[in-house]
Amino acid sequence: MQSDRLPGHPHIAYVGDELFVEKTALSTLAQQYGTPLFVYSRASMLAALATYQQGFAGRQVQICYAMKANSTLAVIQLFAKAGCGFDVVSQGEMQRVLAAGGLASRIIFSGVGKTRAEMHAALKAGVGCFNVESEAELVALNEVALSLGRQAPVSIRVNPNVDPQTHPYISTGLKGNKFGIAHERVVQTYQRAAALPGLSVLGIDCHIGSQITQESPYLEAMDRMLDLVEAIEAAGVPLHHIDMGGGLGIDYNGETPPEAAGLWRKLLEKLDARGFGERALMIEPGRSLVGNAGVCVTEVLYLKPGEQKNFCIVDAAMNDLPRPAMYQAFHQIVPVKPRATNAETWEVVGPICESGDWIGHDRVVSVAQGDLLAVLSAGAYCMSMASNYNTRNRAAEVLVDGSQADLIRARESYSDQMRLERLLT
């Protein structure tokens, strides 16, 4: 049968007259598990990982999946089995990695506001490295490590002051951001860290932003990082690894981000040219591993044509798909079973009581009440950012492998939502 792949989504295609993820029809999954429903392609996640692995062939590199992009246990398990480590930003994320069978020694613990309780738990678990973001945090970590009679492995997150040319909410490596240690203070911060008995200095890291679609910010950041490595080592602090963070973008709406393998070939050339070819590397990709592996299937509840706008009200909302409301983000919306009738222009909106609850503006599609739509590029920063606003149950998730589909998260129930609450006595 004719298969019509969606550009940028190699494992999502129209087969005959309906949309499939790998060899599984989305309509069948929606019937079985209800909507809204997140559906992920295993092959797509592994293919995205493979492009990084190809770029790094023969090098000493640890790929640490930034699990904030999608922290569902089975997704973590898949990447752990494929050899990944994990970038975590809370004790909760660390617990998820351990529950999914990931190795503590391959965890990097990032984040600007780790509590002492989190440091304590991570040291006991034996995480591979703490990415420290301030001098005050170094002091706290040193104290917690000494109280346990240990040394904490640390890397210092530096702020390379590079413009990632992305949305202001997701650029992190500029001077005005809360992240990392300012360029000018880096060497003295390393000297201070090296002198603290509870710390063992391992590396240096940066993360310049997210949904980066150009090569140049990475090349620039690598140059600045290598300048810093030279200065830090000249000041007497040897570094074992360089962690370049994550941030590579995906195709949401025709963007053409560099391919991981090609980008890394260029970055590795730079390392070689500057004499750092043997240095251990780490990276922390999130979105680029899972973003285009996922769709959110939603049912059209009502059509409400109007004088100014036509509203297409669907059963997914900003609590399931927060990116449009938060970042004015664009996600493609396509019919699961396209209709032959004329397309009209719709505001695709959810049922939540806020005008900000929109999923797509001015979408040209032919729809009828009861149809299923698929919101694309929903594998990253959707379910992991989902909420219960309006006391809506969080959606179910399915992982597809060919024609096999596994329910990896059951739909939440109202009793799940109310479990921790108590009435006044």
Rounded to a whole number of angstroms, the minimum distance from the CB of residue 286 to ligand LLP is: 3
In the chain the first and final C-alpha atoms are separated, in Å, by 64
- DSSP designation for 383: G
Residues 77-106 that bind ligand LLP (CB under 6 A): 87
Out of 245, 257, 324, 379, point to the residue binding ligand LLP (CB under 6 A).
245
Q: Which of 11, 287, 392, 394 binds ligand LLP (CB under 6 A)?
A: 287
Closer Cβ to ligand LLP, 25 or 316, answer by number: 316
- HSE (CB half, 13 Å, CA atoms) of 150? 16
Using only C-alpha atoms, the chain has a radius of gyration, in whole angstroms, of 23
Cα separation, 64 vs 344, whole angstroms: 44
Helix, strand, or coil (residue 102): coil
> In whole angstroms, how close is the CB of 25 to ligand LLP at the nearest point?
28
Q: Does 257 bind ligand LLP (CB under 6 A)?
A: no
- For ligand LLP, the closer of residues 170 and 232 by Cβ is 170
107 binds ligand LLP, rule: CB under 6 A: no
Query: Which of 3-11, 90-98, 282-290, 348-356 is the region at the interface with ligand LLP (rule: CB under 6 A)?
Result: 282-290
Least Å distance, CB 358 to ligand LLP, is 16
* 301 burial level (CB within 10 Å; 0-12, 13-18, 19+): middle
Of the candidates 370, 380, 390, which has an alpha carbon nearest to the alpha carbon of residue 291? Answer: 380
Cα–Cα distances in angstroms (integers) from residue 45 to residues 32, 48, 199, 234, 313, in the given order: 23, 5, 36, 41, 30
User: Based on CB atoms, which residue is closest to ligand LLP, 67 or 80?
Assistant: 67
Q: Which of 84, 206, 312, 353 is catalytic?
A: 353
Using the rule CB under 6 A, is 11 a contact of ligand LLP?
A: no
**Which CB atom, from 70 or from 298, has the smaller least distance to ligand LLP?**
70
Rounded Cα distance between 404 and 379, Å, is 18
Distance between CA 405 and CA 173 in Å, rounded?
A: 39
Using CB under 6 A as the binding rule, whether residue 241 contacts ligand LLP is answered as: no
Q: At what angle are helices 73-81 and 42-55 packed, to 10 degrees?
A: 40
Q: Which is nearer to ligand LLP, 198 or 285 (CB)?
A: 285
Alpha carbon of residue 173 to chain centroid: 17
Residues 335 and 79: beta-carbon distance below 8 Å: no
Binds ligand LLP (CB under 6 A): choice among 110, 292, 332, 377: 110
Q: Total binding residues for ligand LLP by CB under 6 A? A: 21
Among 66, 123, 141, 398, binds ligand LLP (CB under 6 A): 66
Copy the structure tokens of residue 73.
Answer: 């246990």
Residue 232 one-letter amino acid: I
Q: What is the DSSP string of 351-377?
A: SSSSTT-EEEEEEEE---TT-EEEE-S
Q: How far is the CB of 12 from ligand LLP (least distance, A)?
A: 20
Cβ 294 vs Cβ 331: under 8 Å? no
Q: By C-beta, is 12 or 244 nearer to ligand LLP?
A: 244
Alpha-carbon gap, residue 108 to 286, rounded angstroms = 13
Active site residue 353: yes
Contact 187, 223 (CB under 8 A): no
> Binding ligand LLP by CB under 6 A: which of 246, 350, 360, 379?
246
381 binds ligand LLP (CB under 6 A): yes
Nearest distance from C-beta of residue 110 to ligand LLP, angstroms:
4
Question: Which of 323, 331, 392, 394 touches ligand LLP (CB under 6 A)?
Answer: 323
Minimum distance, C-beta of residue 131 to ligand LLP, in the bound complex (Å): 7
- Minimal distance, residue 55 CB to ligand LLP, in Å: 15
Taking CB under 6 A as the rule, does residue 62 contact ligand LLP?
no
**Residue 313 near residue 350, CB atoms below 8 Å:** yes
**Overall residue count recorded for the chain in this entry:** 425
Check residue 319 for interaction with ligand LLP (CB under 6 A). Answer: no
Applying CB under 6 A, which of residues 55, 102, 217, 286 lies at the interface with ligand LLP? 286
Binding footprint of ligand LLP on the chain (CB under 6 A) = 66, 69, 87, 110, 170, 172, 207, 210-211, 245-248, 284-288, 323, 327, 381
Which residues does the annotation mark as catalytic?
Answer: 353
